[in-house]
Amino acid sequence: MIIICVTSIQGYTQVSPPLKKVTVVGAARGQFFGDTYRPTDEDTVTAKKLNSGNVLADLGLKIQANANMEILGMVRIRNDYGGFWGSGVSFDVRQLYVRGLIGNAVRYQLGDINYRMTPYTLWNNEQDLFGELPKAFSTQMQAINYDHFYNSDHSWRQQGASANVGFLFAKAIKEIQLNAVSTRIKTSDFSNQSDRVFVGLNAQVIQSESLSLGFNYADIFDIVGTSRNQTSMRNPIVTSSAHWMMDWGSSKMDVKGEAGLSARYTEGVDIAVKNGRFNDWKALWASKSTGLSLEMRYHFVNADFRSPGAQTRRLNAGGQLSAFSRIGNDQVLRPVSILDMMRETSLYNMQLQTSLGQYLPQYDNITPYGDATPNRQGYFIKGGYETSKGLWKSVVIYYNGRETKGEGTIEPRSYSRVKAETELLLNEQTIGWKSQLHLSAAYRNDRTERSGPAYLPQVNLKNEMIALGAEYLINKKWEILLGMQQVNFKGLEMKNIRDFNGEIVNFSEMELDGSEIMSSLGLRYFFSAQSYLSLQRFQWNGRNGLDPDHEHSIAQWMLLYQMNF
Amino acid sequence: MKKVVLAVMVAVGLLHGCKVEDSFDGPDLNDLYGPFSIESDLNISQDSVDFSLGEQPLFSAAFSKKVNWKLKIIGLTSGAVKIEQVFDSEVNYLWNGSTTQFPMFREETCAVELTVDQQPDTLRDTIVIIAPKVNQGLLLSDFEGGLNASWNTFVQSGANMNFGLQSNANVPQGVRSYTMEGAVSWDWLIGLIDIPASAYGAPHFDLNANASQVYFNTLLYKHPDYDNGIVLLQFREDDNGDGSYTDGEEDMFSVELKGGSDGWRLVSLKYQDLATLVNGAAASPIGNGLHEPDKLFQVSILFLANPSSGFSASGLDYMVFTEGSPLAP
C-alpha cells in the first residue's frame, strides 16, 4: 500500500500552520563604521579616515491566502547616513515567493527559493576562514550572510520553482521522497548569452531509520533560441549517495558517502568534453558515554569534475574593495585582507558561476571550492571529545592529500592540514554559574608542496591560522566580546591561469610572505533575544615581507543595532 | 543485506580513485623553466630539390624543451622568403616550395636559418632548388610568355600611360609582370584587359560548377607612392548557354580591389562570394543570380582611378583559378 505524503526536503523550510491571515516579518539594522587607515610609509594621497553607515529595514508581509497557500513579499528600505531626504535611499524587493500544497500531496514554491542538494551538486560552501572565526567578528559577518542569503544549511538563494512529494510504503521501503527544482541563473541578452538555467532532481529512498539511498541529478544549460547564440553550455552531474547509521549500546556508527560523474561541454562547439568523477566516503564512530568520537573520511575528486552548484565560491577574490581601495602615494590597489572578508559586502557573490572562481591561496589552498574542489584526493581523520554537559569540546583534524592530476608536470602537489579547535563553556548548565563565559581557540596549519627538478619553481606554501575568542555574558543582558585572529603565510605557489573554457593555459608564480592580525574588543547589550546593540573596536595589522612600502594597518569603530521580528 | 550493500558501495568508492594520472593539465613547466639545449642539429634531408616532381625536403632538429622556433628559407637570387614558426621541441618541417613573402622561389640556391626565441645561436644550412613549385589550377597568365594574343586590351590616351609587360627584380613570380600606369583626367577608366574563355579554346572556362570550390587568384601590386588606384575585376557568365554574353540580361559579378599594403600581395577570391556591383555598390543580380563558374564567359580587369586624383599605378602577375582552396604560392 502506498500513501502519498508531503515531506520536507533538505533546505526547505516547512510551512507552519497559519496563526494569522497576515503576519509582518522582517528585520531592522543600523550600523555605523569609523575607519582609520595608518600606513607604515609616508602616504600623502590616501584619505586616512573614512566614515560610513546605513540603516535598513526589511519589511515583509506573509499572507496566508488559504489553508494551502502562503505568499511572502518583503521589501528592503535602506538609507546611507547623510543620505536622507531622497539621496542615498534605495528601495528593493528582497524576497517574493508563493508556496503551498497541491491536492494535499505536492508541495511547491515559486519565486525566491533557498535550495540545496548535496555537497557535490548544489551546496553553498562557507567563505574562507568562516568556520574558525571568533564570535567577536561574527557580528559583521552575520550581516553579510544575512544580506546574501547565506544560510547555515548551505542553501543557495535562487529564483525559479520547486516541488516535492513523498510516498510511504508498508513493506521493504519506508518512504521515497522526490524533489525537483528549476531556476534561472542568467538571463538572455538577446545577443550572445542565452537564458541559462539550473535543474535539480533528487530521489531519496528511505529504507529504514538506519539506511537511506539518494539519487541526484543536477544540470546547468543554456536554452538555445533565447539569443542569437546557437551554442549551449551543458554541465550535467549525476550522483548517488548512501547513509547508514546504527546505535548499539552507548555508541553510534554513521557511514555516509556520495559518488558521481559530471560532464562539461558546449553543444555546437568543437571543444573536448570534460568528464569528471568523484567519490567521498566517511565513517563516524561516537561514544555517548565517553564523549569521544572518531571520523575517517576518504575523498577523490578528479581534475575535470565540474559542478557549478557546488563549486561556486561565496567570496569573489577579484572583487573591488569599497574602503581604501587604493593606497600609497602611487595609489596601488589594496589587496583583500581578512578584515575585508569580514565586512566588505561587495566581495560576495549571490549567483552560481559556471567557471571556477578566483581564490586566495594564502587563506585556503586546499579546499577553496569546498568538498567539491576538483583535483584533490586524500583522507581526513577527525578525533573529538565533548563533555556530557558541553563544558569542554575539542576537535582535532588531520588531512593528507594530493592532486589527482599534476599541473604543468606529472608530479602532483601534496597537501596536509592539521587543525585543532577547543571550546570551554562556563554557564548555569555546565557549572551552575549565573553568567556565561565562552572561551574558544583554533589553530590550523596547511602545507602545499610539490617536488621537482631544481630548475622548476618549488611549490612550498605554508599557511597558519590562529584564532582566540572570549565572550562574557552578564545577566543575559551585557556581553563583552574579545577576539583575535592571525593568519601567516609564506612560500611559493604556481597559480594556474585558465581560459574561457576552463583550460589551464599558463601559470603565474605567486610568492607570499606576510601575516595579518585582526583583534576586536566590544560590548553588546541585548534588549531581547531578537535585538541588540553592539559597540566594537577592531584593529587590523598587516605585514607584507615582499612589499613593505605598502604595509599598513586599519582600525575600525563599529556601532551596530540589530533587530529581528 | 544492508551491510553487504554498504560494503560494496564503499569498496567501489575506494577503488574508484587513489591514482595520480600520467598526464597533466596546462603547459609543461619544463618548457617554461627548463634549461635549453640543442639535442639534434639542423638537418635537411636533401641538398637539392625539384619541387615540380613533388619532392619535399624535410628540415629537422630537436631541442631539450618546447620553444618558439623559426625556420627561414631565403632565395639568394629571387629574395623570396619562406618562414615557418612553431612552438615545439622538435623541428619536422616538410617544405613544398611555397613562399611566405613574395617573390616566389625560382631555380636558385637558398640559405636556411633556424633560430629560437631568446637564444643567441642561429643554425644555418643551404638547399638548391632545381625546379620551383608548380601550382595546380587553370592559369590565365603568368606573363612569362608575353600577352595572350586573344585577349582584348584598351588603354586611354592619357598622360604618362604605361600598360604592358615589365621585367625587373621586383617581379613576384618568374621574371615578368603586367604594369598598369597612367593619368586620365576625363574618365575613371585608365585601361582594361578582357580575357575571354575563347582565348583558352572553349566557350566557357574549364571550371568546377560548384562556386564554393572555385577561387580566382592574382598577385596585385600597390605602388607605395599612389593610393588612388582601383582594380575592378568583372566575371561575366553565359547564363543561357548561347555562347555569348548579353549585357543587362546575364550575370556579371564584380569585385573592387583598392588600398592594401604596399608592394605585391596575393588576392584570392572565392567565386561564391562575388557580388553584383553597380557603380561600386551592391545591387540585385542581372541574370539568374546563380554563381556558375562553369558558365564563366569572360574575365575583365579594369584599372580605374578618380580623374581628379592624377597619376595612378598598379600591376598584375600570376592570374590563376584554383579549386578546393586558394592559391598557396
Nearest to B25 among A210, A211, A303 (CB): A303
pLDDT of residue A396: 97
Nearest Cα of chain A lies from the Cα of B63 at a distance, in angstroms, of 17
CA atoms within 13 A on the CB side of B43: 10
> What per-residue string of b and e applies to A514-550 under the rule 16 or more CB within 10 Å gives b?
bbbbbbbebebebeeeeebebebebbbbbebeeeeeb
A402 inside 8 A of chain B by CB = yes
B5 inside 8 A of chain A by CB = yes
Nearest to B26 among A259, A302, A408 (CB): A408
User: Which of B19, B33, B65 to mutate: most A Cβ within 10 Å?
Assistant: B33
Q: Which of A526, A447, A457 is nearest to A492 (CA)?
A: A457
Other Cβ atoms less than 10 A from the Cβ of A169: the count is 15
CB–CB contact B29 A302 (8 Å): no
Q: Which of A114, A25, A94 is nearest to A63 (CA)?
A: A25
Give B11-77 as a DSSP string. Answer: HHHHHH--PPPSSEESS-HHHHHSPP-EEEEEEES-SEEEGGGT--PEEEEEEEEEEEEEEEEEETT
pLDDT of residue A67: 85
Chain B CB contacts of A406 under 8 Å are: 20-21, 24-25
Which chain A residue is nearest to residue B27, measuring alpha carbons? Answer: A408
Nearest Cα of chain A lies from the Cα of B117 at a distance, in angstroms, of 18
A275 inside 8 A of chain B by CB = no
For residue B5, which amino acid is it? Answer: V
Q: Give the separation between CA A277 and CA A282, rounded to whole angstroms.
A: 17
Whose grid coordinates read 638537418?
B43
CB–CB contact B17 A300 (8 Å): yes
pLDDT higher than threshold 70 for residue A509: yes
Confidence of residue A97 (pLDDT cuts 50, 70, 90): very high
User: Which of B2, B15, B24, B31 to mutate: most A Cβ within 10 Å?
Assistant: B24
pLDDT of residue A5: 44
Nearest to B29 among A279, A375, A409 (CB): A409
Q: Give the separation between CA A332 and CA A88, rounded to whole angstroms.
A: 28
Q: Give the separation between CA A513 and CA A498, rounded to whole angstroms.
A: 25
**Structure confidence by residue, pLDDT tens digits, A160-172:** 999 999 999 988 8
Please name the helix (run of DSSP H) or strand (run of DSSP E) that holds residue A309, with its range, or none.
helix A308-311
Q: Give yes or no for a contact between A533 and A560, defined as CB atoms under 8 angstroms apart.
A: yes
pLDDT tens for chain B, 329 residues long, are 455 455 555 555 554 456 788 899 999 998 888 899 999 999 999 999 999 999 999 999 999 988 999 999 999 998 899 999 999 999 999 999 999 988 889 999 999 999 999 899 899 999 999 999 888 899 999 998 888 999 999 999 989 999 999 887 778 888 899 999 999 999 999 999 999 999 999 999 999 999 999 999 999 999 999 999 999 999 999 999 898 999 989 999 999 998 888 889 999 999 999 999 988 888 999 999 999 999 999 999 999 999 999 999 999 999 999 999 999 88
pLDDT higher than threshold 50 for residue A20: yes
Helices (H) and strands (E) in chain B, counts: 2, 20
Please name the helix (run of DSSP H) or strand (run of DSSP E) that holds residue A200, with its range, or none.
strand A196-206
**Structure confidence by residue, pLDDT tens digits, A442-483:** 999 999 999 888 888 999 999 999 999 999 999 889 999 999
For residue A506, which amino acid is it? Answer: N
A508 inside 8 A of chain B by CB = no
Q: Give yes or no for a contact between A181 and A121, defined as CB atoms under 8 angstroms apart.
A: no
pLDDT of residue A86: 62
Q: Give the separation between CA A347 and CA A338, rounded to whole angstroms.
A: 12
Q: Give the separation between CA B234 and CA B232, rounded to whole angstroms.
A: 6
B16 inside 8 A of chain A by CB = yes
Average pLDDT, chain A: 91
**Structure confidence by residue, pLDDT tens digits, A253-286:** 999 999 999 999 999 888 889 999 999 999 999 9
Bridge-based pairing state of the strands A552-564 and A22-39: antiparallel
How many cross-chain Cβ pairs, A to B, lie less than 8 Å apart? 105
